[in-house]
Each structure stands twice: as C-alpha cells, then as structure tokens.
Amino acid sequence: MSNQTYKGTIAILTGGGDVPGLNPAIRAITIRALREGYRVLGFRRGWAGPISIIRDKKADNTPFVIELTEEIVNRAGRTGGTFLHTSRTRPSHVKKDEIPEHLRQKYTNELNDLTPEVLNNLEFLGINYLIPIGGDDTLSYGVRLYSEGVKVVDLCNTNY
C-alpha cells in the first residue's frame, strides 16, 4: 500500500462465464486502489467465496479470499480469464447440496438464501466496497447487496 492514509478495504469478485479481459480488469482496479490507499481482497470462485468464509480469526479462509498485491495482479494481468476463478453461484438461491459444510445444519431447505451469511462475512472481513465483475446474475446479486446497504461499485454504469 502507498504512503497515503488507509481508506478502507475493497473486495473484487468475478462471476459467471470466464472471459479474456477479467485479469487485466482485476489488475487495473487493484493497482489504482492500492495507490489510492485501499487494501484489496479478491474473492475466489465468484459468489461461492463470500458464502464460504468461516467467521473465525483462526480459520484458514485462503481457499475463499486472497489479499491482492501489485505483484500478484501484475503476474496474472498478462493472462486471459480470471485467476480468482469464477462460478455460477447465486447466494440467494443455493441448493442444499451446495451449502458450505460449516453451514449445513443451519440451512436445510432444498433452496436457501445465504444473503445473511454474505453480509456477515463482508463485515467480518472489514470490506467497505464490493466490486462484482460479471454478467447479469453476478451483477443482479450485487444490486441485491446494494439494497441491503453494501457499497457496491458498478463498473457497467447501471443505475441501481
């Protein structure tokens, strides 16, 4: 991070289909944010990352979230696709057999809304701004989080 005052934490995630420009987009966002004084996290596997966080400071959440640095994004920025990986997970519609192991006793319906888990996980990680990158499903769930009070950055200039 630059010598500037810490301004907050930004999280980025990529969802939906894999496309060539995702890594350069992650790189550009990360480098600018770091230079502006933000900490940047990347959720792995699209919306599956934020639903899988274990809210325990001792838990290993590295399969679900990674701190992004210039070194990491510079290495990935020259390749296609997304090094954060993607999924078609929709936290508002998670099938019983796709519920993370640590939440299976709490969510037992055939179809479950894990939005409360996402909101709690964003707070647990200290995320101030969320940048979802993807298609309609990815961004429509970003709108849902926006309606819940999350500061969602829309790269497509969609009016929420």
Please report the pLDDT score of residue 85 as a whole number.
Answer: 92
pLDDT in tens, 64-102: 999 999 999 999 877 888 999 998 899 999 999 999 999
Residues in the chain: 160
Q: Which two tokens stand for residue 83?
A: 């090094």
- Report helix, strand or coil for 40: strand
Please report the pLDDT score of residue 34 as a whole number.
Answer: 97
pLDDT under 50 in the chain at which residues?
1-2, 157-160
Please report the pLDDT score of residue 156 as a whole number.
Answer: 60
Report residue 38 CA to chain centroid gap.
15
Please report the pLDDT score of residue 30 as a whole number.
Answer: 97
- Report helix, strand or coil for 64: coil
Output the CA–CA distances (angstroms, integers) from residue 76 to 20, 42, 96, 135, 150, in the order listed. Answer: 12, 13, 34, 21, 28
Nearest to 89 by CA among 80, 102, 99, 81: 99
- Show the domains of the chain with their CATH numbers: 8-147 (3.40.50.450)
Please report the pLDDT score of residue 154 as a whole number.
Answer: 77
